[in-house]
């Protein structure tokens, strides 16, 4: 997989991409990441990439011309790349979107900045993504989030392939509680079922706890998740027990 990032600040990516899973993926040549400085595609002596907004207003707006030129130049040798603008106006990133993006062999990420991009630049991307309802200085950190999240989904990147399928949000639920040694820490013990060797019992406990945690912390996810009849029974029981304790 190739990931191309168009940004005004390519130096921001050195540390995140040089450690942990992104570094491992690149060393294995499972993912190749290319950084492109938007200023290299701007015209004029000073390589200006932004200007004051028409109609007045605060801040500066990223010009359409360098963005379009950069996207066209980067995409020209690629075969059917998918082009993404990181923008607070995009739809919110979720695990299903990451799985979809990870399937592409060529991905181009465009990092917005300042007060936003000239509206005409949007004609050169396929979709817009936001990582949340808050304001950042630019699209670089969201691009890092996307790179990290989709890299771990690529085959062969993680040491244990099951890791990517047994995490929070993969099935629409938060992940069940996790424990490791020692068995007891400051009076808090590991649940007996996890040390029982009963694989079916452990699986049932983990599913129940995932449902419990999601219900308590992110009940909105339950409404969007396909639950089995047994899941619905467990949720109803958990709600009844909570009501009895109130």
For residue range 200-237, list pLDDT tens digits in order.
999 999 999 999 999 999 999 998 899 999 999 999 99
Peptide bond into 55 cis (omega under 30): no
pLDDT for 114: 87
Is the domain spanning 2-151 CATH 3.40.1280.10? The answer is: yes
Residues 142-157: pLDDT tens digits?
999 999 999 999 999 9
Tokens representing 153 are: 């989904």
> What is the pTM assigned to this prediction?
0.88
Q: What is the pLDDT of residue 164?
A: 58
What integer pLDDT is reported at residue 54 of this predicted model?
Answer: 95
What is the per-residue pLDDT for 147? 98
Q: Is the pLDDT score of 166 beyond 80?
A: no
* Domain ranges across the chain: 2-151, 184-245
Q: What confidence score (pLDDT) does residue 168 get?
A: 60
pLDDT for res 162? 54
Q: Give the pLDDT score at 19.
A: 95
Q: Check residue 246 and give its pLDDT.
A: 79
Split at pLDDT 50, 70, 90, the class of 163 is low
Q: Give the DSSP per-residue string, the chain.
A: -EEEEEES-GGGGHHHHTSHHHHHHHHTTS-EEEEEEGGGG--TTTT--EEPPTT--SS-EE-HHHHHHHHHHHHTTSSS-EEEEEEEEEEEP-HHHHHHHHT-SEEEEEE-BTT-B-GGGGGG-SEEEESSSS--SBSHHHHHHHHHHHHTTSTTTSSSGGGGGSSTTTTSSPPPP---S-SEETTEEPPGGGGS--HHHHHHHHHHHHHHHHHHH-HHHHTTS---HHHHHHHHHHHHHHHHH-
Fold of the 184-245 domain: 1.10.1270
Mean pLDDT (whole number) for 8-32: 96
Please state, in angstroms and rounded to a whole number, the distance separating the CA atoms of residues 153 and 124. 27
Mean pLDDT along residues 21-46: 96
pLDDT at 197 over 90: yes
Residue 169 in this model has a pLDDT that exceeds 80: no
Question: Which token pair is 64?
Answer: 């359409």
The pLDDT > 70 percentage for the chain reads: 96
- pLDDT interval class at 63 (50, 70, 90): very high
The whole-number pLDDT of residue 2 equals: 98
Nearest CA to 87 among 121, 57, 54, 58? 121
Mean pLDDT of the chain: 94
Q: Region 155-184: what's the mean pLDDT?
A: 80
């Amino acid at each position: 997989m190739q990931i191309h990032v168009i940004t005004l600040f390519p130096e921001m990516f050195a540390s995140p991409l040089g450690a942990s899973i992104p570094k491992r993926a690149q060393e294995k040549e499972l993912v190749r990441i290319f950084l492109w400085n938007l200023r290299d595609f701007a015209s004029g002596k000073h390589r200006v990439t932004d200007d004051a907004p028409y109609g007045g207003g605060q801040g500066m707006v990223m010009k359409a011309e360098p963005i379009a030129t950069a996207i066209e130049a980067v995409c020209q040798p690629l075969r059917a790349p998918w082009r993404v603008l990181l923008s607070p106006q995009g739809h919110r990133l979720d695990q299903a979107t990451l799985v979809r993006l990870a399937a592409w062999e060529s991905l181009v990420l465009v990092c917005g900045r300042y007060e936003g991009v000239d509206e005409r630049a949007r004609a050169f991307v396929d979709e817009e993504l936001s990582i949340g309802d808050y304001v950042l200085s630019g699209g670089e950190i969201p691009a890092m989030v996307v790179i990290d999240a989709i890299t771990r989904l690529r085959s062969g990147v993680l040491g244990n392939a099951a890791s990517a399928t047994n995490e929070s949000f993969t099935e629409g639920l938060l992940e069940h509680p996790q424990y490791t040694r020692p068995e007891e820490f400051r009076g808090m013990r590991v649940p007996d079922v996890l040390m029982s060797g009963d694989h079916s019992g452990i699986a049932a406990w983990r599913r129940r706890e995932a449902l419990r945690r999601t219900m308590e912390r992110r009940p909105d996810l339950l409404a969007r998740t396909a639950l089995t009849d047994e899941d619905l029974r467990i949720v109803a029981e958990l709600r009844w027990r909570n009501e009895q304790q109130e």
